[in-house]
Amino acid sequence: MIRKTMTAAAALATVATTASAGGIERTNQVVGILFEEGRYVEFSFGNVNPTVSGNAVPALGGFASGDMAPSYWQFGAAYKQDINEQLSFALIYDQPFGADVAYPAGTNYFAQGSTAELRSNALTGVLKYDTSDRFSVYAGLRYQTLGAEASIPFVANYTANGSADGGFGYLVGAAYEIPEIALRLALTYNSKVEHNISTDETSLLTMGTTLNSTTTVNTPQSVNLDFQTGLNEKTLLFAAARWVNWSDFDISPAHYGVLTSGGSLVSYDDDTITYTIGLGRRINDKLAISGRVNYEAANGGFASNLGPTDGSLGVVLAAQYSVNDSTEISAGLSYVDIGDAQTSLMGAQASQFSGNYAIGAGLRIGYRF
C-alpha cells in the first residue's frame, strides 16, 4: 500500500502547478517519472488564468492598467522504460518557459496596447543507473527551442520578432531511497541553454526599415532538491526546494538597447528559490488525494513592465483515480496569491501592482504497460 501511496503522490505533486513561478518559468523541469515502476507513459494538460493589474503613479496620471496577463495552456508528455534491472531511461516533453502579456488599449495607462509572447518547447532524454537498491545516478540531454515577439508602443512604437532557435543543455542528478518507507531524496542540476535568436526590430527611428540582429538569450540554470517519506502505510510527506539563476537571465535586442540607452527588454536582478511542502493520502485502492503549499519570497526592487509580479504563495489540491491496474487519472486545482510589485520608467517608479492572483487547473493521464 505504501508503494501505491508514493506513486499517487508523485503524480499528484505536479498537477496544476504552473499558475505562478519565478521569472518566466512554467514548469519545474522535474524528472520524477524516472522513479515510476516498469514501463509507463503519461500526458498532461493545464490551463492557467492569471489576473494581474495595477495603477500608474500620480505623475503618470494614476490610470489603471487593466488585466495584462491572458490565460494560457500547458502541455506535457513523458515515457519511461526499464532497460534491465539497473538501467532505465525516460523521454520528457515540456514547455519550461513562457510569457503572455497584453495590456488593454484605451485605458490611458502608459503601457496600453503593449503585447509580448515567449514560447519554449523542450525534449529531454534521461538515463538512470541504480548503483544499489538505495542509490541511483542519472544524466540527460535536453533540446530546447525558444522564440519571442513584442510590441511596445510607449517606447518609440517599438516591435520585435524573434524567430524560434534551438539549443542544447544537460541535467545530472543523484537519488537516495529507502523503498520500504517510501523515502527518497533527489538532487538534480539543470544547465542553462543558450539561444541565438534572429531578431527583426522596428521603431519610429527606423522609419519603416526593419533591423535584423542576433539576440543571445540563456535560459537559466537551476537546482531541484526533492524529498519524500512515508508517514504510515497510506500517508506521504513531500517537500521540495528549487533554485533558479534568474539574475543571469537577460533579453536585450540591439535596437531596443539603443532606444533605452542600454536597457533590457526583460531581465531580473535576483535569483529565486521556490519552496514546496505537502501531504499525499491514499483513501482506498482507487482514490488518492494530496495538498501542497508553494512559497516564493519577494525580492523587492523594480519589476519589469512586461512581468509586474514579485514572489507568490500558492495552494494546490489534487486527486488521483485508478481506473484499473494500468490506467490512472489525476486532476488538480491551484490558487496563487501573486506578490505585489512596482515597475519603473527611466529609473523612477511608474506603477504599483497589488491584489493579484492566478487560478490553475490540470489533468494528467498515466498508463502502465
Q: Is residue 325 part of a domain?
A: no
**Bridging pattern class, strands 40-51 and 72-82:** antiparallel
pLDDT, tens digit (0-9, with 9 covering 90-100), for 163-213: 999 999 999 999 999 999 999 999 999 999 999 999 999 999 999 999 999
pTM (2 d.p.): 0.94
Angstrom distance (rounded) from CA 6 to CA 184? 10
Per-residue model confidence (pLDDT) at position 334: 93
Q: Read off the C-alpha cell for 107.
A: 485605458
Q: Is residue 128 part of a domain?
A: yes
The number of distinct structural domains making up the chain is 1
Which parts of the chain have pLDDT scores under 50?
Answer: 3-6, 9, 11
Q: Is residue 327 part of a domain?
A: no
Per-residue model confidence (pLDDT) at position 16: 52
With CA atoms as reference, report the closest residue to 143 among 171, 173, 172, 169: 169
Question: Is the separation of the CB atoms in 188 and 171 below 8 Å?
Answer: yes
Q: Is residue 321 part of a domain?
A: no
Angstrom distance (rounded) from CA 316 to CA 332? 7
Per-residue model confidence (pLDDT) at position 346: 87
Q: Is residue 323 part of a domain?
A: no
AA letter at 154: F
Per-residue model confidence (pLDDT) at position 54: 98
In degrees, rounded to 5, the angle at the alpha carbon of residue 48 between the alpha carbons of residues 169 and 160 is 60
Domain harbouring 297, CATH code: 2.40.160.60
pLDDT, tens digit (0-9, with 9 covering 90-100), for 276-326: 999 999 999 999 999 999 999 999 999 999 999 999 999 999 999 999 999
Cβ neighbours around 183 below 10 Å, total? 17
Q: Is residue 320 part of a domain?
A: no
Q: Is residue 204 part of a domain?
A: yes
Per-residue model confidence (pLDDT) at position 2: 52
Query: Got the DSSP string for 56-70?
Result: E-GGGT--B------
Q: What is the span of the domain harbouring residue 84?
A: 2-312+332-368
Q: Is residue 318 part of a domain?
A: no
- Region class of 165: left (phi > 0), else alpha (psi between -120 and 50), else beta: beta
Per-residue model confidence (pLDDT) at position 224: 97
